[in-house]
Structures are given as C-alpha cells and as structure tokens.
Amino acid sequence: MVTLPDGSQKQAAAGTSIFDFVKASIGPGLAKAAFFAKLDGEPVDLTRTIDRDSKLEIVTTKNEEALEVARHDAAHVMASVVQKLYPGTQVTIGPSIEDGFYYDFARETPFTPEDLEKIEAATNAAIAEDMPFERSEVSMDDAIAMFEGMGETYKVEIVKDIAARGAKTLTLYRHGDWVDFCLGPHGPSTGRIGIVKLLSVAGAYWRGDSNNAMLQRIYGTAFFDKKALEAHLHKLEEVKKRDHRRLGPALGLFAFHEFAPGAPFWLPNGVTVYNVLEDAMRRLVNKNGYLEVKTPLLFNKRLWETSGHWGKYRENMFLVVDSESDEKLSLEDRCSFSLKPMNCPSHHLIYRMQKRSYRELPLRYYTTDALHRNEASGSLGGLTRVRQFEQDDSHIYLMESQVTAEVLRIFELMKIAYGAFGLEFEATFSTRPEQRIGDDAMWDRAEGLLKQALDEMGLKYGLNPGDGAFYGPKIDMLVTDSLGRKWQTCTIQLDYAAPERFDLTYQGEDNTLHRPVVIHRAIYGSFERFMAILTEHYAGAFPTWLAPVQARVLCVSDRFNEWGHTVAQQLQGMGLRVEFDESSEKLGAKIRQAQLDKIPYALVIGDKEVQAKGVTPRRRGGEDLSLMPLEQFAAQFAAEAKPPF
RNA sequence: GCUGCUAUAGCUCAGCGGUAGAGCACCUCCUUGGUAAGGAGGAGGUCCUGGGUUCAAGUCCCAGUAGCAGCUCCA
C-alpha cells in the first residue's frame, strides 16, 4: 500500500519500481515529469522498487530539489568527460552547491579557460547521449579494490574512511562506462539534466586543509532549460552591477590604491555617508548609556602578551620596529610595538584605571578607532575584507546576573539600526567548543543567559553547537539584503577569560571583590563592511538621509542661475547636502546625469519657478512632482533628510 | 599564504612581434535648450614594475606588485 502526499492510498504490487507504479497508477504525465522520489521521506531513485507499505512523494523538475539532484548529475557527467579528455586525471568529490555544482580533480597541469570550453561542450554532448544512471551496491572491499585498480587514490581514501565508520556496502552510480560512488539519488538519465554551463576554475585544498595537496576545482551550474540558465546568468550580471567595488569608485565613495592594499581611501561622497552612519550610531549609543572613549593605535607588545594576542594572533598583527632597539636583536624582538587589531584590551586597561563598584555596572565603553589586521593577501576583497577598518565597537563590563537584560538591550539597538535600512536579521547561537576554558557549570550558566535573551526577544535563530569562542558562547547576526543575500555583521560574545587575564574586579554589595563578565559587541560590525552591504543593498541609490548629495539644482537655462543659486544656498543653510549643476548642458542631459549620480532629488528651475519663487522637484525614480514654493519643498525635504535614528 | 586568470587613456575595452586605438568622461568654442545624452574642435598613454628572448616587445618568456575567481583563514 502506497500513501501519497494528498493522503490517498494506492495498491502497488511488491517489487514494482516507483517509475512503473507512477506511470500505471497515477499517470504517465507525472511519470514523465518525475525526477526522483521520496520514499518515507528518504530521497531515492525512480528505479527503486516498492517492497513495503510506504509514503511516496514524487519530485518533479518543477521542484528546486530536483535541480539540486540534476546538478549533482551534472557533476558526475562532467567528471566522466574530464577523465576521457584528460587521461590520468583523478576524481575526488563533486557536490551540488547553491546555484550550481563543482568537482575537484587531481591533475598536475591546471585547467585553462580553453579546457573549460572544451569540457563544457563535451559535457553537454554527453548529456545529449541520454545515458541512464544505474545504481548498484558493492561490498566495501570490492569497492576499495575497484578504485585501487583504477588508480583513484583519493576515492580509495574516502571509501576507507566510510568503511572505518562502519559501512558495509557502498552505493555506485554508473552512466555509460563511468562509475562513481555516491549516496544518490540521481535523476533517471543524463538527458534529463538539461544544460550545463561551466563558470570558473580555482584551486581547492584536498579536504579543505591547507596542508594538503591543491586540487583543481571546476565550478559550473545546470538548469533544466536554456531560458532558466539565461535568467540565472542575467541575474549574475545584475548582481555584478551592484557590486560595491564597481559602484564605490563610480559614485565617488571610496577607492583603493596599490600602495595601500586592503586599506580604503574614503572619497568625499563616501566620507559623507560614513559620517552620517557614524553620527547616527554615536547618537544611539550615547542615548543608551554608552561612554565613548579613544585609545592609542600603537601599543607596547606587553599589552598583547597580557591579552593573549601575542601568542595567538601575532601573525595578523602589524608589528612596528622600535628604532631605538638594539639592532643586533632579531627583527621580532625589535618589534616592541604593534598597531592594535582589536579594541578590547585597551578598554580593559581603562576599566582597570580605577577601582570599580558594582554600582557602575554595566559599564559600556564605545570606540570607533581604526584597527589594523594583516589579513592574508589572498583574502582581501573590496570593503568586505580589509586590513584597516573601524568598528562601532563596545565592551560592556557587567555582573553575570545582568547579562540577559544587557543582551536584550543590544538587540533593541540592532532593531532600531537595522530597521532603518530595511535589513532583516537573524541569529546563530554558538555554544561551547571542545577547546575551552572554564568549567561546565560556567558554560551552562553562560549559554543559559544568552538563550534566555534570544527566547525573550523572539528572535529567529539557528544553533551552531561547538562553534563558540574558547572563552565564552556567542551570538552571530546575519542580515539579509535586498537581493536576499545574507551577510554576517556582528557577534555578541560573552567573555570570561579577559577579566581573568586582566584581573578585572569590582567591589560588590557585599564589600568583597568580584570578577565582572565582558560582552564584546558591535552593531554595524565594521563600518567598511557595512558600507559595502548598504551600497549593494541600495544599488548605490542611498535613501535621502544617507545620500552623499541629497539634491541637485538644475536650471533650464543659465538665465535662471540667480534663483537657482538662491535655492541651493537656502537649502545648504539648513544643513542639507545640495549641489548646483553649473554645466551648460540641456535640461535632459542634466536630468540624466543626476539620475546616473543617483541623487534623490533633481530640482528643476526655469521661468515658472523663478516667477513663483519655487522649484519643480523630480525624484530619482523619475517621478515628477509639481511646482511648489521653495519653503514647502524645503520643509518636506528636510523631514525626509532627517536620520531615522 | 595557496591555485588559476587579469593588468593598454580618468572609466569600459579593442589591438597581439615592426614606431598606440574606440566609446564615455575631460578641456575650448558654438548652442540658452522644460524632465535620461545639442554641435564642432582639442588635449590626454615609461601599453603595472624589473629582467630575459629578438634586428625589433603592450604584444613572447621569467620574476615582482596589485586586482579578480576560489581555497585556507576571518577576533
């Protein structure tokens, strides 16, 4: 007896394949559209036989999950083609991933872009051959012998691992004369994959470990039809257009120079946005009991020895040679100073500058100083990974009993800040890792406090067991932008180690000394990364309150310049960021330029406006407002330009 | 840091062994034009840097630097 998703039940003769059952008992149309099935929830091939009462769900090519399977099919086909075209190449793994798939190959000579074209063509040709995927099971010993015979050393290694985990048999999938092992399921045949497009080659370490051999990874994607593929490629183009690395220089926000890799130059427009963000955050934290401080950028390494950075983080620190140090010493010994990579240790020093009372807690220090981290050259990229940046960084010193309430306060600030940008956020809760300090009782308490805060906030969160810092559990925030992409912005971390290392204390109500707990938190995270997110989120068209230039005055002819200048000056006098277009272009060209510069308002001035002492505003989207008196526009413009927090 | 790719005018790119090109931007002049490009003229380049091959090198080879796609890393 087979139960279908709609609850209906149908009789199936024992031993019939799912495909035959569907064709006979449900309909040939569904059988034709079917890609794989779920038998009692377990994904299986359509060739799987039904041998007991079960729930059956047919997954058709309309379903996203089918596409995932098809992409895995595509990875198999591509691997088979690569081994034909390039004998001696070993296969390793090839999963389907978001939006596509990849396959890692072991080969002396890397693949060139020309190779990729050849492989792509041959892959699509193999798809056209419409070879069925055939599933079989073999014993582990047979599997090992088979892959050893084929000289597939990586496969042998994986199979041995699987055997070591207790598996008795291995599932093989064959199409044509090519075989690989894999859990499956696969689609019915190669012909059902649709169309494959290969995108890039890159190196990837075997098993993701940089001590291992570098493999050649080919990335590709597959779609059931050409139209869907083209839509996907078009979407990639659109994302590219929003890329902050392209928009930043084009809109005069920021730029990079070879002489300072990983350190942005903030151009006038970018500084304006940066400052608006920074001012808003400063107002917000000031209203919420934070105390702003500034600390040195350059510190004696004794600070980092105290904090533990010298041991654990030195590779990422920019060390500074003390010119008065003994030249005979090693270079590292001469580097008695370092630029700070984090603010926490210097905040701890301030905490220690006087005796603290429980009455002062929670004590919240806020800093936006520049931080320097010597990130690996290959990991730099735009504003999302830089070597010099600033954070809206805070360290909060409090009693354990205050933690939950304080975390809730932080969530409230995040809600205000992210809400202003229309960014949704969710949380990931990371708990105790294997390597950790403190006893289990401490971790129980700490995790309980954070969990309580998450629950009280009603925040959606996922669990990341074992991913906490060695010194405490943490909450990571993921924000979702206008394209649905997720970005990690900040973490809220509980720290039980720093108070020990820095011997931080407070005098309690009971007149004895106690250890405070430290919370590390930032809301934007780094201003640099946040600017990147916002630039792409808004596609460079910042809302009026953030826009570097909020309005530009455009005169129909320079005969109207006098009133135009009056308008610009009056608005500027109100603190609004208004420009005057001096060019001798026609109005259409000026409008076009304002639009390309993504300025929220173009203020058109001609005869009528001069007569009426007014302006005719045009919104960035193309919407024309009607002629209105300057005072009226100024009032509504000023309201719109006011930061929301 | 690792693998691969890339580097030509401010930007986007073409050129590919024989003394440097286009579009846009920029400058000058003309045009005074009502909602996404008015016209004409002009200026602008140690073709990333350093080596090598060659009679001859943006053009081929090697190295360095930076960027890009990934991998590793990411408090």
Residues 6+ apart with CB under 8 A from A632: A614
Find where tokens 């099971």 sit.
A137
pLDDT at A129: 95
Residues 403-462 of A with CB under 7 A from strand B: none
- With 0-12 / 13-18 / 19 or more C-beta atoms within 10 angstroms meaning exposed / middle / buried, residue A510 is exposed
Q: What tens digit of pLDDT does each residue of A366-401 get?
A: 999 999 999 999 999 999 999 999 999 999 999 999
Among residues A121, A114, A111, A100, the alpha carbon closest in space to that of A220 is found at A100
Among A23, A347, A373, A432, the active-site one is: A373
- Phi and psi, residue A309, nearest 5°: -65, -35
A4: pLDDT strictly greater than 90: no
CA dist A29 and A58 (Å) reads 12
CA dist A214 and A45 (Å) reads 34
Our answer to whether residue A490 is catalytic in this structure is no
Our answer to whether residue A393 is catalytic in this structure is yes
- Helices and strands counted in chain A (H then E): 21, 36
CA dist A121 and A308 (Å) reads 54
CB of A607 under 7 A from strand B?
yes
Find where tokens 């820095």 sit.
A502
Nucleotide nearest to A592 (CA to C1'): B36
CB of A598 under 7 A from strand B?
no
Q: Are A326 and A376 in contact (CB under 8 A)?
A: no
A581: pLDDT strictly greater than 90: yes
pLDDT at A565: 96
Residue A473 CB-half CA count within 13 A: 28
Q: What tens digit of pLDDT does each residue of A8-64 get?
A: 888 878 788 898 888 888 888 888 889 999 988 889 999 888 888 888 898 999 988
Nucleotide nearest to A623 (CA to C1'): B35
pLDDT at A185: 92
Whether the CA torsion A383, A384, A389, A392 is positive or negative: it is: positive
Among residues A365, A371, A399, A401, the alpha carbon closest in space to that of A387 is found at A371
Residues 174-213 of A with CB under 7 A from strand B: 200-205, 208-210
Lowest mean pLDDT among A48-52, A84-88, A282-286, A591-595: A48-52
Tell me: cis bond preceding A362? Omega within 30 of 0 counts. Answer: yes
Q: What nucleotides of chain B have any atom within 7 angstroms of a protein Cβ?
A: 1-5, 11-12, 26, 30-38, 65-75
pLDDT band for position A97 (cuts 50, 70, 90) = very high
pLDDT at A2: 81
For all residues of chain A together, what is the average pLDDT?
93
Among residues A361, A368, A363, the alpha carbon closest in space to that of A343 is found at A368
Among A335, A344, A490, A555, the active-site one is: A344
Our answer to whether residue A391 is catalytic in this structure is yes
pLDDT at A52: 83
Over residues A284-302, the mean pLDDT reads 96
Q: Are A630 and A617 in contact (CB under 8 A)?
A: no
Q: What tens digit of pLDDT does each residue of A400-445 get?
A: 999 999 999 999 999 999 999 999 888 999 999 888 888 899 999 9
Among A115, A393, A476, A495, the active-site one is: A393
Residues 492-551 of A with CB under 7 A from strand B: 493, 520, 526
Our answer to whether residue A335 is catalytic in this structure is no
Tell me what percent of the residues of chain A surpass a pLDDT of 90: 75
pLDDT at A50: 84
ipTM value, please give it.
Answer: 0.94
The residue type at A424: E
For residue A296, how far is the Cα from the chain centroid? 31
Residues 555-594 of A with CB under 7 A from strand B: 555-559, 583-589, 591-592
pLDDT at A105: 95
A589: pLDDT strictly greater than 90: yes
Angle of CA points A354, A356, A357, to nearest 5°? 150
Q: What tens digit of pLDDT does each residue of A491-545 get?
A: 899 999 999 999 999 999 999 999 999 999 999 999 999 999 999 999 999 999 9
Our answer to whether residue A328 is catalytic in this structure is no
CA dist A574 and A130 (Å) reads 70
Q: What tens digit of pLDDT does each residue of A139-181 get?
A: 999 999 999 999 999 999 999 999 888 888 999 999 999 999 8
pLDDT band for position A335 (cuts 50, 70, 90) = confident
Angle of CA points A68, A69, A71, to nearest 5°? 65
Residues 138-177 of A with CB under 7 A from strand B: none
